[in-house]
Amino acid sequence: MKFAKVVFWIAGIWGVLIIAPLYFIFDLIGRQDPPPITHPAFFYGFVGLALAWQFAFLFIATDPARYRPLMLPSMFEKFSYGIAVVVLVLQGRMRSSDLVFAATDFAPRRPLRARLHQDIAPLRRLQRESKDDIGMTASKAVLSAKPL
């Protein structure tokens, strides 16, 4: 769990440092990357939601074993933005320079996936063993049952 703790601390701190300034550069984005944002509610909604997830990452980092169920949706949060940016760049709807920020969301993908498989393997083995035990118990009960 030490690996998860480190990864989620880094992801949370990095995210807060990158996302929080977006609250203050709304007009600058419109000037540097025209056209200006026409739906500020969507923009601030995105920023608020993304920032909330960064705090969730920091929360998970405090006790990864306890908050393990939050890890899968948090990975979806990280990767969904990166995937969207890649698709939009391929469609010509975003500049390729925007891939830099998408890459930061993809960076922890490989080690997280490897660690997730490493953590899930024993659980799957236990699940298979428990199914086998239940099956053996059921077959013994059927064999030892007296006919009516």
Residue 36 included in any domain = yes
**So what's the pLDDT on residue 82?**
85
Stronger pLDDT, 40 or 104, i.e. the higher one: 40
pLDDT tens digits, 7-46: 899 989 999 999 999 999 999 988 888 888 899 999 999 9
Number of domains in the chain: 1
Residue 93 included in any domain = yes
Residue 114 included in any domain = no
CB-CB contact of 105 with 75 (8 Å): no
Length of the chain equals 148
Q: What is the mean pLDDT of the chain?
A: 81
Q: Which domain holds residue 26?
A: 2-107
Residue 11 included in any domain = yes
pLDDT tens digits, 42-88: 999 999 999 999 999 999 999 998 998 898 898 888 888 888 988 99
pLDDT bucket at 123, cuts 50 / 70 / 90: low
**So what's the pLDDT on residue 81?**
84
Residue 136 included in any domain = no
Residue 145 included in any domain = no
Is it the case that residue 137 has pLDDT exceeding 60? no
Stronger pLDDT, 45 or 136, i.e. the higher one: 45
Is it the case that residue 117 has pLDDT exceeding 80? no
CB-CB contact of 116 with 74 (8 Å): no
Helix axes 2-19, 109-144, angle to 10 degrees: 130
Q: What is the mean pLDDT of residues 120-130?
A: 67
**So what's the pLDDT on residue 17?**
95
Task: Give the integer Cα–Cα distance in Å for 33 and 89.
Answer: 14
Q: What is the mean pLDDT of residues 115-123?
A: 63
Residue 97 included in any domain = yes
Residue 54 included in any domain = yes
Q: What is the pTM of this model?
A: 0.66
List of residues 6+ apart from 124 with CB closer than 8 A: none
Task: Give the integer Cα–Cα distance in Å for 47 and 44.
Answer: 5
